[in-house]
């Protein structure tokens, strides 16, 4: 029974991991760049939420959508004002740019909040659980998982059934030619960066509701996001979901077997995948 | 009406076109001919705004030479690019729909395009990347037509196609020729086919116009000399 519970808990944690990976995967899929500041976007969003909820005293149901909107605006503006200028055939400038941004955000957070552990208090929801047979499941982890699944579904649907999604996929395929189809690729990139930042902030807030964070948590989150998209398969949103779930299960089982292992088994899994199936679990081998 | 004057075009430091000038009347098809590297594709790209260019490009009286590609597309410039450039993760139908993004009114719609190329109806839900070269070419032309352009630019539509498929594509283009005020610029390797399919022609050599004129009764010998840059004997 304990193993079923462990497995389910791993799956539920995997939903959160998948969300971390999803934002990074979108950026990579459309712009072919890695956003090193992805973890800081998540943690920065969470700290802004902590400031809004704990210090100003706004209820969480208002805080979360406000932070999501702010994150979206931040991502959009960042892309329009900065990253679009350095995008080109060379992947290094955007990489360095976002690396610099991650350091700036991290230091700003330390300056403003100190290095203490902090969390977002969700009250009774945090400890509520439901009993299914002999298995006890947390309501909040279930809720997070449901939100993650719903977001993956909604994104998939909009990519394939809306004009926005069509333009986004076309821009990902051939950004040079889409201008001739009336698409402003810089705007498409900015929309994607906004969406990615909002997804990052959401997963950061969920992390802070589930446990605690410090201004230094971003790097570790970025690592998880990278592992998720490499394990699942680069540039595919379902790859992120699979990668997240698998990584979550491996982390939880690893900790159950060996409580001192930390994320070790996740890293080992990454190594195995890189050796055995470098295109990822859901990825197709690509020739280009 | 398309008027091009004193057009120079650059890719970075490389100058691809020198002082290009020609005019094309509404409803006409212009054949752009020249050897490989003569600047045919560069000229189409500079009309689209995909190079950095100086000079004047006027479409129906409006200066478009300084505008970004998206705005030129909205004003009626549409390109079927060399190599077809399918959006590989989109279906055939989605590729065609993308062409209508500019929202220009006109006769062209999904129905009209599939009437012109019936095979595309059958393959509408397939990924465009799985189609044969000829079918992809039809999608590329259809995608360009979906924009209801005033100026349709067709780059190497028969390149790499089996002769019978190339004939099929050219026949489809011939069937819509002259039915509206739309102008077409056709880049085509086969000079006699290009002349037969056009009202007027411009011959390029090393980025410069070396000969232009009316296609009907054009002197193929003189075009041959211009094409290869031989001095008139």
Burial B18-29 (b: 16+ CB within 10 A, else e): eebebebeeebb
Task: State the residue range of the domain holding B66.
Answer: 2-228
Q: How many residue pairs from chains A and B have C-beta atoms closer than 8 A?
A: 62
CB-based burial of residue A279 (10 Å sphere; 0-12 exposed, 13-18 middle, 19+ buried)? middle
Mean pLDDT computed over A66-86? 97
Averaged pLDDT, A126-146: 90
| B143–chain A Cβ distance below 8 A for any pair | yes
Q: What percent of chain A has pLDDT over 90?
A: 84
**CA A273 to CA A263: how far, in whole Å?**
16
Residue A186: closest CA among chain B residues belongs to which residue? B70
Is residue A131 one of the residues assigned to a domain?
no
In this prediction the ipTM stands at 0.89
Q: How close, in Å, is residue B79 to chain A by CA atoms?
A: 7
Contact A242, A232 (CB under 8 A): yes
Contact B185, B77 (CB under 8 A): no
d(CA B199, CA B187): 13
Q: A95: helix, coil or strand?
A: helix
| pLDDT tier for residue B153 given thresholds of 50, 70 and 90 | very high
Q: Is residue B233 part of a domain?
A: no
Q: Scan for tokens 């079923």, then name that residue.
A: A4
Would an 8 Å CB–CB cutoff place B165 in contact with chain A? no
Looking at residue A173, which CATH number applies to its domain?
Answer: 1.10.3470
The answer, yes or no, to whether residue A184 has pLDDT greater than 80, is yes
Q: What is the mean pLDDT of residues B223-231?
A: 84
Residues of chain B found within 8 Å of residue A182, distances taken between Cβ atoms = 70, 73-74, 101-103, 147
Residue B141: how many CB atoms within 10 A of its CB? 24
Instruction: Find the mean pLDDT for residues B63-77.
Output: 95
- Residue A197's pLDDT is 98
Instruction: Using pLDDT thresholds of 50, 70 and 90, give the confidence band for residue B233.
Output: very low
What length does chain A have?
Answer: 288
Distance (Å) from the alpha carbon of A34 to chain B's nearest alpha carbon: 21
Q: Is B69 on the interface with A (CB under 8 A)?
A: yes
What is the band of B160 on the pLDDT scale with cuts at 50, 70, 90?
confident
CA distances from A41 to A67, A122, B131 (A): 11, 21, 41
Query: Taking CA A72 as the corner, what is the angle to CA A70 and CA A78, rounded to the nearest 5 degrees?
Result: 100
Domain of A164?
2-123+137-276
Q: Dig out the tokens for A226 from the structure.
A: 């990278």
- How many domains, in total, are found in chain B? 1
Question: What does the pLDDT read at residue A202?
Answer: 98
Average pLDDT over residues B60-89: 94
Dihedral (CA of A256, A262, A264, A269) sign: positive
Domain count, chain A: 1
Query: Which CATH number does the domain housing residue B23 bear?
Result: 3.40.50.300
- When pLDDT is cut at 50, 70 and 90, the band that residue A254 belongs to is very high
Residue A286 above 60 pLDDT? no
> Which residues in B200-218 are b (16+ Cβ under 10 Å) and which e?
bbbbbbebebbbbeebeeb
| Residue A155 falls inside a structural domain | yes
Structural domain includes residue B206: yes
- The token pair at B11 is 């890719």
The model's pLDDT over B18-59, given as tens digits with 9 standing for 90+, comes to: 999 999 999 999 999 999 889 999 999 999 999 999 999 999
Residue B229: pLDDT above 90? no
pLDDT of residue A287: 40
The answer to whether residues A204 and A42 touch, using CB atoms and an 8 Å cutoff, is yes
Q: Which of B69, B81, B84 to mutate to test the interface with A (most CBs of A within 10 A)?
A: B69
Among the ranges given (A14-18, A47-51, A55-59, A91-95), the one the predictor scored with the smallest mean pLDDT:
A55-59
């Amino acid at each position: 029974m304990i193993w079923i519970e462990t497995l389910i808990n791993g799956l539920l944690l995997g939903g959160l991991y998948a969300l971390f990976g999803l934002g990074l995967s979108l950026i990579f899929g459309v712009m072919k760049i890695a956003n090193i500041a992805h973890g800081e976007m998540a943690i920065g969003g969470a700290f802004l939420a902590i400031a809004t909820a704990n210090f100003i005293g706004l209820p969480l149901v208002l805080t979360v959508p406000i932070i999501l909107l702010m994150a979206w605006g931040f991502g959009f503006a960042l892309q329009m004002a900065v990253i679009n200028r350095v995008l080109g055939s060379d992947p290094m400038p955007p990489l360095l740019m976002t690396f610099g941004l991650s350091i700036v955000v991290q230091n700003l957070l330390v300056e403003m909040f100190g290095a203490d552990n902090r969390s977002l208090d969700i009250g009774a929801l945090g400890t509520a659980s439901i009993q299914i047979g002999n298995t006890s499941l947390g309501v909040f982890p279930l809720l997070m998982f449901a939100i993650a699944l719903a977001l993956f579904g909604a994104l998939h649907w909009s990519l394939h059934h809306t004009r926005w999604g069509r333009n986004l996929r076309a821009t990902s395929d051939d950004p040079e030619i889409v201008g001739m189809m009336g698409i402003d690729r810089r705007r498409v990139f900015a929309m994607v960066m906004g969406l990615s930042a909002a997804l990052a902030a959401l997963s950061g807030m969920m992390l802070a509701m589930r446990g605690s964070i410090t201004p230094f948590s971003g790097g570790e989150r970025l690592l998880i996001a990278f592992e998720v998209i490499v394990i699942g398969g680069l540039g595919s949103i379902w790859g992120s979901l699979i990668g997240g779930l698998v990584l979550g299960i491996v982390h939880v089982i690893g900790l159950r077997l060996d409580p001192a292992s930390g994320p070790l088994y996740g890293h080992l899994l990454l190594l195995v995948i890189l050796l055995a199936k470098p295109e990822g679990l859901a990825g197709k081998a690509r020739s280009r | 009406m398309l008027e091009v004057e004193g057009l120079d075009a650059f890719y970075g430091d490389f100058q691809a076109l020198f002082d290009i000038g020609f005019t094309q009347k509404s409803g006409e098809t212009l054949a752009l001919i020249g050897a490989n590297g003569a600047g045919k594709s560069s000229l189409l790209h500079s009309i689209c705004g995909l190079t950095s260019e100086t000079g004047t490009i006027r479409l129906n009286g409006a200066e478009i030479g300084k505008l970004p590609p998206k705005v030129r597309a909205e004003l009626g410039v549409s390109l079927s690019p060399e190599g077809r450039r399918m959006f590989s993760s989109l279906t055939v139908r989605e590729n065609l729909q993308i062409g209508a993004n500019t929202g220009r009114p006109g006769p062209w719609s999904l129905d009209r395009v599939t009437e012109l190329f019936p095979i595309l109806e059958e393959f509408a839900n397939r990924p465009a990347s799985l189609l044969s070269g000829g079918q992809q070419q039809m999608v590329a032309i259809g995608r360009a037509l979906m924009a209801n352009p005033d100026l349709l630019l067709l780059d190497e539509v028969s390149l790499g196609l089996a002769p019978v498929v190339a004939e099929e594509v050219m026949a489809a283009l011939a069937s819509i020729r002259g039915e509206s005020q739309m102008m077409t610029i056709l880049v085509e390797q086969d000079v006699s086919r290009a002349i037969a399919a056009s009202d007027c022609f411009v011959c390029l050599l090393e980025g410069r116009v070396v000969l232009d004129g009316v296609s009907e009764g054009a002197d193929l010998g003189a075009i041959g000399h211009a094409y290869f840059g031989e001095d008139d004997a």
